[in-house]
Chains A and B, each alone.
Chain A
């Protein structure tokens, strides 16, 4: 994995939150949410929108006002040993975050996409992407997402358009038919599919900011989650009480589209496009896992932490595939761990960053003077001549 300097632009993050992050919520999650929260599944999504946007704002505040990497923030606050422990926990958290989408994609392929499926060896291409993505690092994944912006927009818009005309939005009523307890239960159970702001943790200190970075990303995230909400309402309008039984709902929403019925299953085209987005999202999660294990173990060669991450992922997946109700196991066994790491860790990290700064223990740094590297944290003078592309991107927005 390459150094994280001048890594991810705010535009790439905006596209990620707007078009890629929502995709992971369209495979298994709808049926699980409809099963637990019934008609109020979309309210769960709205609740997560409200919660996650606060955490996203906190992370973006760190991005804006603190130029340190997560490694530096934690080392300054709790020392190297403390930082390493936190990074191992974060590595395990990202292992779970990676595991679930990989399983979902593999099962989707196995059960739906393939008419004559050879075996779960189908997952090999997904693993190949994860492995290569783990080697080439965050920059390649985010740039690829940026490159495919129009494709993802096309995929999501087509999916919504192909489904919405067959949907009866009256299906959302009555609201809160079973009270708020199913919603609260869902909030505790399905956090693994939400909390997209965590991908900012490994990127802290390495995000190229332009004018209105915070505003743009928050708006993108809101629109992205609003799209998910709308889609859930549409799904409910199409399937009604049968919604919990539609396991890979993304493949079924356009079944009743009159416009598409004469063209064959062309909806598989946008399913394939959305699958690209999901795989890229998973790659970023896997790369985060490699990053945290690498930083915690402090092994010189990244390839070793990369191999450890792959082995962990493969063995966990092979172990879980022995069970039929994999999703339930993941939800029940790990939901509190996920909740704690996803929502308490960022709060603590934010507090630690602000607390040490407030004490004046951390000297202020500026972009003009230093640029951080990922692994060593050593300061390097910025070259006199900046990459022309970096200059061009800066020129479009100016400093925030």
Chain B
């Protein structure tokens, strides 16, 4: 236990105005007291009203230890901290530190208050029907949104601090009666092992939770919506909530999740099934169409029906570029436009669309640099990729790879590339769960929520592909 001189020296050394720390000095009885807090992270009126005022007014109390202080300040959350270094870190994290001269420990007071964004509908997961609440950057707000949906003592939270400089709060959440303990432990161990200066977003943590670090395929799920997260926790998954990020991570992740949308569960199953199959076909169109078109045009003219071939040959007449270079160029322009329109402010983004889509495209065709079928194919492929927004980047990369393969080897390049990607995907696993389950390997029970969705009362069991303690989801009341 440190003596009072050492404590005061440490506090004055580490909690300085240069670090935006304020100090209020006042008397508690005959003793000098110092209140340290980080300006901007604390509600100063609460400190004045519930800490300074009661202590200054308590002239009849003899303060000999932190217990006396705790007995006096009943209206605010506080805790005695014997370790000064820990207490100093807590001040930078928003806690206030009270030190009374002669005491051997300090007191940490929770009077945090900082600006947060309101709960609103996340732009990445808008729905026509269903909840419109979205996570914010504040971890406590996110936890409260979750707790409001799962009113059970089995909902557990493990808090960790990650980032040497940022000291970011990372919270692992799971339902202890359903989630597998081993997976929770593995995630905790993986996060504990992270040694990094700062964690600015959940994507920093995601990079460490991916079993295959170099993969272009997403291996950690994410959501901005509490209703989706609740459903995933109920299936036995584990959530990782990171302070400062509205994107909550979920594990283990299966590829099929990219084709599922929150709205699927709020509409009739037939409609949900139709939309899921549509997304899947759109994904195939997004990945393969440019490659197939180029392969057909260069190597397999005989694949194209005659009348269609005549139309194409008229359109491509006089184009100076080879089909694969033409397609690569157009895709490249498309990606530039896409990137620019996302980064631009909304009003400029609209102008960008007009300039890019209409002026640039039309001019390029009229100038005879690119053909109309190429623009059509790129547009179709680009739009199709947006039906699976979470996999858009992966689709873009695969599209490029397959285009190069098709332009070099034709249909065999496409077939070979597809098989190699499938080999890779069927081998990929995520915390012991095969990435392509329930299709490879085939798990009959989980097909009820695969590409085709069964009505909710039929899906009695939790996904068997996942590790979970309690397989049964639905029990009928007799």
The interface of chain A, by Cβ under 8 A from chain B, is: 9, 11-12, 109, 113-117, 122, 124-126, 128-129, 132-133, 136, 139-141, 143-144, 146-148, 263-266, 268, 272, 275-276, 279-280, 283, 385, 387-389, 391-393, 395-396
Q: Which single member of A117, A136, A140, A389 contacts B443 (CB below 8 Å)? A: A389
The answer to whether A140 touches B299, judged by C-beta atoms less than 8 angstroms apart, is no
Which residues of chain A have C-beta atoms less than 8 A from B306's C-beta? 264
Q: Which single member of A12, A126, A147, A280 contacts B436 (CB below 8 Å)? A: A147
The answer to whether A136 touches B427, judged by C-beta atoms less than 8 angstroms apart, is yes
Given contacts A113-B412, A263-B305, A392-B464, whether A143 and B299 have CB atoms under 8 Å apart is: no
A-facing residues in B430-472 (Cβ within 8 Å): 432-434, 436-437, 439-446, 464-468
Given contacts A143-B441, A264-B304, whether A125 and B423 have CB atoms under 8 Å apart is: no
Q: Is B420 an interface residue (CB 8 A)?
A: yes
Which residues of chain B have C-beta atoms less than 8 A from A122's C-beta? 409-410, 412
Main secondary structure of the interface of A (DSSP, over half): helix
A139 to B96, CA, bound (A): 58
The answer to whether B412 touches A396, judged by C-beta atoms less than 8 angstroms apart, is no
Q: Is B182 an interface residue (CB 8 A)?
A: yes
Q: Is B303 an interface residue (CB 8 A)?
A: yes
Chain B min CB distance to A111 (Å): 13
The answer to whether A388 touches B467, judged by C-beta atoms less than 8 angstroms apart, is yes
Query: Total contacts A to B, CB within 8 angstroms?
Result: 131
Cβ-closest chain A residue relative to B309: A264
Main secondary structure of the interface of B (DSSP, over half): helix
A388 to B308, CA, bound (A): 50
Which residues of chain B have C-beta atoms less than 8 A from A280's C-beta? 419
Cβ-closest chain B residue relative to A146: B440
The answer to whether A388 touches B465, judged by C-beta atoms less than 8 angstroms apart, is yes
A-facing residues in B212-229 (Cβ within 8 Å): none
Given contacts A125-B413, A388-B467, A392-B445, whether A147 and B440 have CB atoms under 8 Å apart is: yes
Top 6 A-B pairs ranked by shortest CB distance? A264-B305, A125-B416, A392-B464, A147-B440, A143-B426, A143-B440
A117 to B300, CA, bound (A): 9
List 30 A-B residue pairs with CB atoms under 8 Å apart, sorted by A's residue number.
Answer: A11-B442, A115-B301, A115-B302, A117-B299, A122-B410, A122-B412, A124-B416, A125-B405, A125-B417, A128-B420, A132-B423, A133-B419, A136-B424, A140-B423, A143-B436, A146-B440, A147-B436, A147-B440, A266-B305, A268-B303, A272-B411, A276-B418, A279-B416, A280-B419, A283-B419, A385-B467, A389-B441, A392-B443, A392-B464, A393-B443
Given contacts A113-B410, A125-B412, A268-B300, whether A140 and B426 have CB atoms under 8 Å apart is: yes
Q: Is B415 an interface residue (CB 8 A)?
A: yes
A398 to B304, CA, bound (A): 49
Chain A min CB distance to B446 (Å): 8
Chain B min CB distance to A255 (Å): 12
Chain B min CB distance to A240 (Å): 25
**Cβ contacts B182-193/A at 8 Å (1 or 0 each):** 100000000000
Chain B min CB distance to A1 (Å): 11
Which residues of chain A have C-beta atoms less than 8 A from B426's C-beta? 139-140, 143-144, 147
The answer to whether A125 touches B433, judged by C-beta atoms less than 8 angstroms apart, is no
Given contacts A143-B440, A264-B304, A265-B303, whether A388 and B464 have CB atoms under 8 Å apart is: yes
The answer to whether A125 touches B442, judged by C-beta atoms less than 8 angstroms apart, is no
Chain A min CB distance to B10 (Å): 48
Which residues of chain A have C-beta atoms less than 8 A from B182's C-beta? 385
Chain B min CB distance to A280 (Å): 7
A231 to B8, CA, bound (A): 92
Q: Is B340 an interface residue (CB 8 A)?
A: no
The answer to whether A129 touches B416, judged by C-beta atoms less than 8 angstroms apart, is yes
**Cβ contacts B116-146/A at 8 Å (1 or 0 each):** 0000000000000000000000000000000
Cβ-closest chain A residue relative to B182: A385
A-facing residues in B249-302 (Cβ within 8 Å): 298-302
A144 to B427, CA, bound (A): 9
Given contacts A114-B299, A129-B420, A388-B465, whether A279 and B415 have CB atoms under 8 Å apart is: yes
Chain A min CB distance to B244 (Å): 33
Chain A min CB distance to B193 (Å): 23
Chain A min CB distance to B329 (Å): 22
Which residues of chain A have C-beta atoms less than 8 A from B351's C-beta? none
Chain B min CB distance to A163 (Å): 18
A280 to B422, CA, bound (A): 11
The answer to whether B302 touches A389, judged by C-beta atoms less than 8 angstroms apart, is no
Q: Which single member of B411, B423, B443 contacts A144 (CB below 8 Å)? A: B423
The answer to whether B427 touches A387, judged by C-beta atoms less than 8 angstroms apart, is no
The answer to whether B443 touches A126, judged by C-beta atoms less than 8 angstroms apart, is no
Chain B min CB distance to A271 (Å): 9
Of A114, A116, A276, A389, most B-chain CB atoms within 10 Å: A389
**Cβ contacts B157-201/A at 8 Å (1 or 0 each):** 000000000000000000000000010000000000000000000
The answer to whether A140 touches B441, judged by C-beta atoms less than 8 angstroms apart, is no
Given contacts A388-B467, A392-B443, whether A116 and B298 have CB atoms under 8 Å apart is: yes
Which residues of chain A have C-beta atoms less than 8 A from B464's C-beta? 388-389, 391-392, 395
**Cβ contacts B361-381/A at 8 Å (1 or 0 each):** 000000000000000000000
Which residues of chain B have C-beta atoms less than 8 A from A125's C-beta? 405, 409, 412-413, 415-417
A279 to B417, CA, bound (A): 12
Chain A min CB distance to B235 (Å): 12
The answer to whether B422 touches A147, judged by C-beta atoms less than 8 angstroms apart, is yes
Which residues of chain A have C-beta atoms less than 8 A from B423's C-beta? 129, 132-133, 136, 140-141, 144
Which residues of chain B have C-beta atoms less than 8 A from A128's C-beta? 416, 420
A181 to B402, CA, bound (A): 50
The answer to whether B441 touches A393, judged by C-beta atoms less than 8 angstroms apart, is yes
The answer to whether B308 touches A264, judged by C-beta atoms less than 8 angstroms apart, is yes
Q: Which single member of B300, B405, B417 contacts A115 (CB below 8 Å)? A: B300
A129 to B465, CA, bound (A): 28
A387 to B299, CA, bound (A): 45
The answer to whether A393 touches B420, judged by C-beta atoms less than 8 angstroms apart, is no
A276 to B422, CA, bound (A): 11
Given contacts A122-B412, A147-B426, whether A276 and B419 have CB atoms under 8 Å apart is: yes
Which residues of chain A have C-beta atoms less than 8 A from B415's C-beta? 125, 272, 275-276, 279
Cβ-closest chain A residue relative to B409: A125
Which residues of chain B have C-beta atoms less than 8 A from A396's C-beta? 444
Cβ-closest chain A residue relative to B236: A388
A213 to B353, CA, bound (A): 58
The answer to whether A115 touches B440, judged by C-beta atoms less than 8 angstroms apart, is no
Which residues of chain B have C-beta atoms less than 8 A from A124's C-beta? 409, 416
The answer to whether A388 touches B433, judged by C-beta atoms less than 8 angstroms apart, is yes
Which residues of chain A have C-beta atoms less than 8 A from B433's C-beta? 388-389
Chain A min CB distance to B146 (Å): 25
Chain B min CB distance to A38 (Å): 31
A109 to B412, CA, bound (A): 8
Given contacts A129-B420, A140-B427, A268-B300, whether A387 and B443 have CB atoms under 8 Å apart is: no
Which residues of chain B have C-beta atoms less than 8 A from A264's C-beta? 303-306, 308-309
A136 to B443, CA, bound (A): 22
Chain A min CB distance to B441 (Å): 5
Which residues of chain B have C-beta atoms less than 8 A from A115's C-beta? 299-302
The answer to whether B422 touches A144, judged by C-beta atoms less than 8 angstroms apart, is yes
A136 to B439, CA, bound (A): 19
Q: Which single member of B300, B419, B434 contacts A129 (CB below 8 Å)? A: B419
Cβ-closest chain A residue relative to B300: A115
Cβ-closest chain B residue relative to A144: B422
